[in-house]
A and B are shown apart, each in its own frame.
Chain A
């Protein structure tokens, strides 16, 4: 079984994010970079599948030299090899990213592709399904459980208030949702082995894509930080009774929560 994990390096959610001077990107100087948390689930699931059978796990990422760090973490967790597509100066949006990934995948063997359902930086939810579309293979998103047998994959997918069970033939692409598994930590021996595992680097130009077609169809017009949280409010009232009445009124009339 050939499994490919689509992996993205993203700013750690513990980093303080500031908007850069151009107003459409973030300052990256002081950012700590990590593997997208949903991709950790993807790596873990790929390793589990490999452990229960045979095959290998390849990590595919688009990113600058630095992105190798997240890839190494995946290799230290136990993945077998990595491929990094170097985008150079090209700025890719969700669709552009999918096109590049799909082009790279066409040159690789795969039975199953696993991606995070979204990356926590852009929150686009697009790359995974778009790659499946471009490759012409089935896509099952938001998977919290999967089972492979007889060339088919059966998945539990979260939907509002419940789950649906979906089955598809392989090859297929699935995207991960929290609850799928608990990603392992890299072990020390894993870390030592990671550096000997092969990582291929390919410039985007080698994929034979028309760079003009890749250039973002969407552009970021502006970034604004979320509104600062407003201070709390203390309800007035002489007795507990009064305060509860005020609270119920506020919840019903203002917040419309009840």
Chain B
């Protein structure tokens, strides 16, 4: 039977051949995670995902969440998988065992997450947000707060959320209005309205812990006056027992395009003046705390996109092998020849190889960034840690912004390969596209990601991270030039990389000139060009390893896999990169049409 969700061979390749994650176990921090344990972990995550979670994807979409009298019910079938997920202790894979985690390398937890998210990421948002919220407590909580909340969150007894967005404060979080007033007992009275809160209310757990951004009365305007609070749905006594309701009221849930099974809630805090919160971290330092957690959250959103794309690709390639339609182009004129599986048609192959190369490139990029984080954990060389962190910070907007853009494109190809059936709800493809679409919007829209890359990350540390990144890419190019099958493609990657450097310099300089607005109209194209070059790099890196293996001689199944790696690299570097060169020409020209056009000229009035 064909593989579902994610190609196990591909995951194993990235983990063991590209990144050698088993090596991490040489360090005592990860000593428990040798290759065998890693493999068993992925096998069991896959097993649970395919047998239990995947069957809830379509059911959850159809049933959706229900809102009645302030209560939200999740799809019925979620309760069983929620219990299984918690019993298996999968919620806090990479966290400290003292608090209920498993101390696993992040890279490995991402590979397990590849299956979980691909099986049903609307479901996975409940544990995913819980994990993120608990991380905030771990990072910024007092010992007492950790004792009160952490274990119950990492084990999923209580779930978590993230309350930033308000009607007037979306991309500009600094515009928020929720307020906090300090009480005599040290708690804060919170009031305000939050919207679009994922997993904000549901019936999976007895309590929900909301990290809330709010402004303490009299605090400075903008982001400098924002503080972070822990606001439980049900108040938690100091001994950890539950008191009464904390005046957090769900006033409705959104009807939306996708992720129907995850509740998107409007919450009113302190409508009766009885909502209390605990300050998390320092007053007015809420945004700083948020920023520290942002990398992880954005990487997770990239993973959500990848998972949809990966599932859509595997469905598409399997479908294309089986769907018989039309004659082979070479026998078109002979009506007596039988029709063929559509995988034989050049245009279908174009779509499939586009999907394949993006999925592989994105998987490598995301795991790579997770792996950089693991390396920081085991390094005791401060300069090296700074270098690794610089690479992560630089790559995060690409992992979020570029990956989710391309994931949606992959999902769209995934529908196209199915033809009309792709548009029909009986088949899985249309849901994957609908679910995938939100990843381009939340956790900072992709437009905001592009501005982050251009405005903050490029110039960070005097441009050292970008130079470090280029040095890494150069290493792969040098290796690829030694390989016959890859030489000519490596030259194309090198040319594209050099041009990307030129484009970055140009755009960086333009952003500091009177043409700054024009520069930012090219922030997103620049994000896209950067992402393209990174895809080409990852695929080249993979191909170098594959060529080596092929040289040594491989088993039949492996041969097909490795040859597929060469194909992906050749395709991306020689078919897609020339288009990227064109995109960069456009950026270098920086034509200001988009900023020059008057608002009236947009018409429609």
Contact = CB atoms under 8 A, between A and B. Distances in A.
Do A and B originate from a single complex? yes
A29 B9 CA distance: 14
Contact of A185 (B41, B88, B556): B88
A194 interface: yes
B353 to A, nearest CB: 22
B40 A185 contact: no
A184 B88 CA distance: 9
A188 B88 CA distance: 6
B545 to A, nearest CB: 21
Contacts of B84: 185
Taking residues whose C-beta sits less than 8 angstroms from the other chain, chain B's interface range is 20 to 34
Interface in B93-131: 93, 102, 104
A191 interface: yes
B32 A192 contact: yes
Interface string B208-241: 0000000000000000000000000000000000
Contacts of B32: 192
Contact of B555 (A29, A72, A186, A194): A29
A198 to B, nearest CB: 15
B83 to A, nearest CB: 11
A124 interface: no
Contact of A189 (B34, B52, B89, B556): B89
A195 B88 contact: no
Nearest to B87: A187
Given A29-B557, A30-B557, A186 B40 contact: yes
Contacts of B40: 69, 72-73, 76, 186, 191, 194-195
B94 to A, nearest CB: 11
Interface in A99-140: none
B34 A195 contact: yes
A14 interface: yes
Interface in A38-80: 69, 72-73, 76
Query: Which of A13, A30, A186, A194 has most chain B Cβ within 10 Å?
Result: A186
A258 interface: no
B448 interface: no
Interface in A151-188: 184-188
A192 B37 contact: yes
B86 to A, nearest CB: 10
A222 B57 CA distance: 43
Give the dominant DSSP class at B's interface. helix
A195 B37 contact: yes
A185 B44 contact: yes
A16 interface: yes
Nearest to B2: A14
A99 to B, nearest CB: 31
Interface string A10-39: 000111100000000000011000000000
Nearest to B38: A191
Contacts of B1: 13-16
Contacts of A185: 44, 47-48, 52, 84, 87-88
Given A16-B1, A30-B557, A188 B36 contact: no
A186 B37 CA distance: 12
B90 interface: yes
Interface of A: 13-16, 29-30, 69, 72-73, 76, 184-189, 191-192, 194-195
Given A29-B557, A187-B89, 19 more contacts: A16-B1, A29-B555, A30-B557, A72-B36, A72-B40, A73-B43, A73-B44, A185-B44, A185-B47, A185-B87, A186-B47, A188-B90, A188-B104, A191-B37, A191-B41, A191-B44, A192-B37, A192-B102, A194-B40
What 6 A-B pairs are tightest by C-beta distance, nearest first? A14-B1, A30-B557, A187-B88, A188-B89, A186-B44, A185-B48
Interface of B: 1, 32, 34, 36-37, 40-41, 43-44, 47-48, 52, 84, 87-90, 93, 102, 104, 555-557
27 contacts: A14-B1, A29-B555, A29-B557, A69-B40, A72-B36, A73-B43, A73-B44, A76-B40, A185-B48, A185-B52, A185-B88, A186-B44, A186-B47, A186-B88, A187-B88, A187-B89, A188-B44, A188-B88, A188-B102, A188-B104, A189-B89, A189-B102, A191-B37, A191-B40, A191-B44, A192-B37, A195-B37
